[in-house]
Structure 1
Amino acid sequence: MIVAFSLTPSGGDAVDADGGMSAAVAAAVQVVRDSGLPHQTTAMFTYLEGDWDDVMAVVKRATDAVAANAPRVGLVLKADIRPGHTDELTGKVDRVDRLLG
């Protein structure tokens, strides 16, 4: 399965000196990187690939990491649940790139 998720901290100490939320988001990204699961982080979402239990456990830990810095956390999650398929995080993009030549 592939999950695209985004965590948005708000309130409390979540806001950096420059008005951003980079420190709280960095805590979540560190959880993802430490998970050992295939992942990709973009400006809007983090993509994570693995089996249901592993992926959802990482999403929970990442959410908890943000919650440690903010009293409120928004979570947006989209999942592509396709049992038996692996390496789709790059495979989907590779297939489209092949078609584009």
Structure 2
Amino acid sequence: MSQRLTIKELTKTFKNFISSIDGVEESIIGLPLITIIGEDNLRVENFSSIIEYNQEIIRLKTKIGVISIIGKNLLAKSMTKEEIVIRGKISGVNLN
């Protein structure tokens, strides 16, 4: 016999399931996910557009604000509609 769940119970179960899968929750709800590897490699997922791009700053529009990547010799190494990989000497990341 199948069990019926209320919307509240179903939502809670779904959120618990999504939380148990690393990184998926951000993707599903469209929040930016920033991965920094060392001081010269950074990936941002779930951005909507590039606001500013030069060798010292890259500014990305996201659902929750603007992400600024600050550094030297910054270069967008690869980019898709929702993900960008930035290389260069990264000195800071800000969310405004």
- Whichever of the two has the greater Rg, that structure is 2
Q: Calculate the TM-score normalised by the size of structure 1.
A: 0.30
Q: Calculate the TM-score normalised by the size of structure 2.
A: 0.31
Higher RCO structure, 1 or 2 (CA under 8 Å, sep 6+): 1
